[in-house]
């Protein structure tokens, strides 16, 4: 396996990220060495919160939450998924799959021998991390999730929808950034399958995948009009996007486009059509959670169209989610760690305190 490693100099002077790096080397199925980075902050004897990021972020997304959680006496461990952040980056499309990410992160978990944890995950961090919890439930005391899911291909997809997705994927035309954004914003209505497939196709076929710009708009508190103006100015080489510390930080892991394969590939790994290779493993994980009685909390945003239905799925199917103080975070967006770090941190802290004696 060809593996790339981002030079340390790319991460110098990132705003709000003074944390020391920690590295663990694991081995892939073909025997290649893969170095995985994580942040480890707070008292070594404190209760551990394992915080896992999603697409296309990295542990930088937890920089606002880490001081809040550690001030409450918690130890925060935040890894970077392979292909992201300071972790090594397999260079080829075929290296990335849902199962490979689960296998790599399980190996990292066992190598660090972590136990007694509270798991928190958002987006792919939740999808991968929940599989880790299902594989090693004895290592986790409780679970908190936000804007994520343990997804299966939709059972109610019509033949018409499936054909439309297949036609989109076969098309020689790549959706534009604006078309992709409109599709995701419209996920609450119409064919969700086709709209999410638009994101998948955009991500994979955009060679210089605009990670920094996506995170800038995904974490912005600006209106759609102001964001549109800023994007227009950026295309003209003007405006504040290029000067943004958020753009700099989220582009830092990628000194050139060859490093972006993980960020481009992972959206295509979301189970979307019947026959997806992750289906059997997902069903097995759900069987674990349908008997999971440890405390399980949902802290979803009220304005994330991508995962709008997933909180109810957890509340309905996970025994440990019954009668918990589930919270809905107002205006948290998809990247709730960026837009509502105080509310999310408070929910995690209070949940750990209220369930520690159970």
Catalytic residue numbers read 123, 304, 334
Residue keyed to tokens 């972590």: 114
56: preceding bond cis by omega (within 30 degrees): yes
DSSP 8-state assignment for residue 332:
-
Can you tell me the distance from the alpha carbon of 299 to that of 74, in angstroms, rounded to the nearest whole number? 19
* Count of beta carbons in the 10 Å neighbourhood of residue 193: 20
* Count of beta carbons in the 10 Å neighbourhood of residue 54: 25
User: DSSP assignment of 276-308, as one string?
Assistant: -TTHHHHHHHHHHHTT--S-EEEEEESS-GGGT
Task: Please enumerate in sequence order all residues whose Cβ is within 8 A of that of 70, keeping only pairs 6 or more positions apart, or say none.
Answer: 41, 42, 43, 46, 76
């Amino acid at each position: 396996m060809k593996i790339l490693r981002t030079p340390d100099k790319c991460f110098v002077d990132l705003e709000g990220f003074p944390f020391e790096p920690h590295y663990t080397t694991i081995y892939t199925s073909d025997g290649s060495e893969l170095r995985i980075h994580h942040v480890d902050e707070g008292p070594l004897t404190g209760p551990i919160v394992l915080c896992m990021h999603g697409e296309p972020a990295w542990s930088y997304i937890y920089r606002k939450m880490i001081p809040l959680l550690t001030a409450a006496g918690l130890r925060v461990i935040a890894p970077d998924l392979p292909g992201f952040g300071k972790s090594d980056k397999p260079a080829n499309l075929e290296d990335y799959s849902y199962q490979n990410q689960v296998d790599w992160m399980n190996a990292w978990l066992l190598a660090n021998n972590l136990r007694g944890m509270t798991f928190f995950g958002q987006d792919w961090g939740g999808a991968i991390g929940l599989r880790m919890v299902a594989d090693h439930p004895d290592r986790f005391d409780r679970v908190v999730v936000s804007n994520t899911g343990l997804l299966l291909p939709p059972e109610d997809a019509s033949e018409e929808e499936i054909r439309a997705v297949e036609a989109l994927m076969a098309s020689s035309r790549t959706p534009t950034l604006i078309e992709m954004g409109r599709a995701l914003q419209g996920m609450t209505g119409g064919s969700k399958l086709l709209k999410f497939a638009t994101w998948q196709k955009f991500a994979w076929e955009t060679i210089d995948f605009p990670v920094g710009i996506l995170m800038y708009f995904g974490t912005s508190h600006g209106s759609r009009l102001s964001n549109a103006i800023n994007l227009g100015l950026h295309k003209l080489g003007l405006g504040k996007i290029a000067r943004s510390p958020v753009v700099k930080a989220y582009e830092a892991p990628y000194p050139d486009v060859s490093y972006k394969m993980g960020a481009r590939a992972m959206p295509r790994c979301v189970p979307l059509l019947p026959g997806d290779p992750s289906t059997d493993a997902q069903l097995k994980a759900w069987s674990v959670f349908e008997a999971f009685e440890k405390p399980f909390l949902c802290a979803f945003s009220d304005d994330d169209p991508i995962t709008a239905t997933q909180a109810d799925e957890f509340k309905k199917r996970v025994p440990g989610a019954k009668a918990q103080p589930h919270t809905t975070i107002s205006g948290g967006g998809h990247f709730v760690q960026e837009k509502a770090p105080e509310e999310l941190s408070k929910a995690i802290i209070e949940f750990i305190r209220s369930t520690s004696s159970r």
